[in-house]
Chains A and B, each alone.
Chain A
């Protein structure tokens, strides 16, 4: 498939460049809100909407935003959309708002969103940016759901708050704790690595190209530091 085809752009975020399991971005919400399926789904959808909207707007404005202030501009756009999404969630899904708590406004500093604005939307057309946002958002949501299903079903013997009585005696409470989340996260990263047969792009191959520090960077420096959130 053509590397720049719409389908490729859309699909890469789901598995090959999954933001959570491959790019190792957005780890804070991944660990924090995946103890329940409802919370994880809410966070995934909220991030997806912000991703698509911010990607579209950043792409629209890419030619008018001066290079020197592009990061503050992206942050303003992202923070604005996060605020709007938060308002709508508060209005129409107050239970999810209560569940996500502080992690909802913290989407503003989610690396995935700023990362896609900087690496993709700032250089591509509106349509492709929207597809990239959609693919990455769905990839993020799927990752959140996978994590939360494992943690809630096996850690709390329930699914989306509905009890699964036959699992009650076998539940592993540890999975709902932060260390349990890290363990599940690590196992899923390994699983994705196995599925992609190790062909998922290494950080070096996708990060340097769009990196604003590319010119001043010591080659490979970011590989040592790894991703962060």
Chain B
């Protein structure tokens, strides 16, 4: 026989023989390996549903409209509830949670299977954070304390738990709404003024009725939506109310839109005033005598010893001539993610609405930052926090940011006082 044919044949026969042996071994071991893997998977499931008798993996394809963040779903075989594996974004992507949901839609347990969160920020807290939610319903999730200094991680965690509860409703044969709060709001606004792509919150610069919670403007000039409590009142581009509401509410909405849509402003020449704070960036005055100012505050970014791209917190405020904040929002900032960047959220800046100078400590009352030798960012600032705590909700883990923000607002008050004091 040709030598090469003999060699090839030998090799093929040996390969076939070994393949046969492997197949035999596989036949014996495969069921045991599968059983082991199931037991291991059940172990993770039992962590979040300790009294579960057994778990059956659900085929997600058989359920429609599940969010893409849901990776796996399990049904507890005795009907105690469901376990959902969810992958969401915390500060970084890939925060993976296994969440157990009881049949009464309360959390039975939650564990973090893997995360890419910054260890120095969360200190691994995301691994045990799930324990805080045991027994909580969807409506109670937001009330659980955040992981200190890790707002993004906390938000991602809470989002995952809400998704799990809603997915469980679908698994149980019901329906659920998987939209985010912002999506729900936008959809509600679109229902009031159909044909609009998106709405933007109006920065209010005129004094309006206190019952009005917010005003949104349609992106295509189709009009405004005025929110009063639970009511969404649409006012079209011609200033006519299009919602079926009581006449008094209708009139209030139309008048409010009329006020805010006809506001005119003039720029204030800052050079004509003496002693204006250097922190005032620009100012405008409305025809009704209110002021719109942009002020800057020295937050963490500015006071960060090693910071390369130092950036002030820029705050836009509208104030009455007697120094009361009509509206306030953060225009820009360079504060740290997961810490001071909470100053860019309405939860924080919304608390300044309606404040006057007397509602905040004076500039002199706010202590200077303490520098322990390596920049203030490495030094606790309890004295500052103690003072601010008496007036506002200080951002967790971001006292320096809060201090800078409050100082900016105080400079706005000071500026208005100078404007009202007259020209040079």
Q: Which residue of A lies closest to B32 (CB)?
A: A91
Can you list, as one digit per residue, whether each of B1-40 has a CB less than 8 Å from chain A (1) or not (0)? 0010011101100110011011001101110110010001
Can you list, as one digit per residue, whether each of A60-90 has a CB less than 8 Å from chain B (1) or not (0)? 0100111011001100110110011001101
CA distance A69 to B10 in the complex (A): 8
Point out the residues of chain A lying under 8 angstroms from B40, CB to CB: 94
B18 & A76 in contact (Cβ 8 Å cutoff)? yes
A68 & B7 in contact (Cβ 8 Å cutoff)? yes
Q: Which residue of A lies closest to B22 (CB)?
A: A83
CA distance A72 to B8 in the complex (A): 11
CA distance A77 to B18 in the complex (A): 7
A91 & B7 in contact (Cβ 8 Å cutoff)? no
Q: Which residue of B lies closest to A67 (CB)?
A: B7
Q: Which residue of B lies closest to A69 (CB)?
A: B7
Query: Which of A65, A76, A88, A94 is B25 in contact with, Cβ under 8 Å?
Result: A88
DSSP majority for the B interface?
A: helix
Query: Which of B11, B18, B19, B33 is A90 in contact with, Cβ under 8 Å?
Result: B33
Point out the residues of chain B lying under 8 angstroms from A72, CB to CB: 11
In this complex, the interface size class of chain A, counting residues with CB under 8 Å from chain B, is 20 to 34
Contact A76/B22 with A68-B7, A87-B29, A91-B29 known, Cβ cut-off 8 Å: no
Query: Which of A66, A84, A90 is B3 in contact with, Cβ under 8 Å?
Result: A66
A90 & B22 in contact (Cβ 8 Å cutoff)? no
Q: Which residue of B lies closest to A92 (CB)?
A: B32
CA distance A76 to B25 in the complex (A): 16
DSSP majority for the A interface?
A: helix
Point out the residues of chain B lying under 8 angstroms from A92, CB to CB: 32
CA distance A77 to B11 in the complex (A): 10
Contact A80/B29 with A65-B10, A66-B6 known, Cβ cut-off 8 Å: no
CA distance A88 to B29 in the complex (A): 6
Q: Residues of B within 8 Å of A, CB-based: how many?
A: 21
A91 & B33 in contact (Cβ 8 Å cutoff)? yes
Q: Which residue of A lies closest to B20 (CB)?
A: A80
Q: Which residue of B lies closest to A72 (CB)?
A: B11
Point out the residues of chain A lying under 8 angstroms from B22, CB to CB: 80, 83-84, 87
CA distance A184 to B8 in the complex (A): 45
Q: Which residue of B lies closest to A73 (CB)?
A: B14
| Min C-beta distance of A211 to chain B, whole Å | 21
| Min C-beta distance of A42 to chain B, whole Å | 16
A76 & B11 in contact (Cβ 8 Å cutoff)? yes
CA distance A87 to B3 in the complex (A): 36
Point out the residues of chain A lying under 8 angstroms from B19, CB to CB: 80
Query: Which of A64, A68, A80, A88 is B18 in contact with, Cβ under 8 Å?
Result: A80
A61 & B29 in contact (Cβ 8 Å cutoff)? no
A69 & B11 in contact (Cβ 8 Å cutoff)? yes
B18 & A94 in contact (Cβ 8 Å cutoff)? no
B36 & A94 in contact (Cβ 8 Å cutoff)? yes
CA distance A68 to B5 in the complex (A): 12
B36 & A76 in contact (Cβ 8 Å cutoff)? no
Query: Which of B14, B18, B21 is A65 in contact with, Cβ under 8 Å?
Result: B14
A76 & B15 in contact (Cβ 8 Å cutoff)? yes
Can you list, as one digit per residue, whether each of B185-226 has a CB less than 8 Å from chain A (1) or not (0)? 000000000000000000000000000000000000000000
Give B residues with C-beta under 8 Å from A. 3, 6-8, 10-11, 14-15, 18-19, 21-22, 25-26, 28-30, 32-33, 36, 40
Q: List 21 A-B contacts (CB under 8 A).
A: A65-B14, A66-B6, A69-B10, A76-B11, A76-B18, A77-B14, A79-B18, A80-B19, A83-B22, A84-B21, A87-B26, A87-B28, A87-B30, A88-B29, A90-B36, A91-B28, A91-B29, A91-B32, A92-B32, A94-B36, A94-B40
Give A residues with C-beta under 8 Å from B. 61, 64-66, 68-69, 72-73, 76-77, 79-80, 83-84, 87-88, 90-92, 94
- 9 tightest A-B CB contacts, nearest first: A80-B18, A91-B29, A91-B32, A84-B25, A87-B29, A69-B7, A66-B7, A87-B25, A94-B36
Known: A87-B26, A91-B28; 17 extra A-B contacts, CB below 8 A, are A64-B10, A65-B10, A65-B14, A66-B3, A66-B6, A66-B7, A69-B7, A73-B10, A73-B11, A76-B11, A84-B22, A84-B25, A87-B22, A87-B25, A90-B36, A91-B29, A91-B36
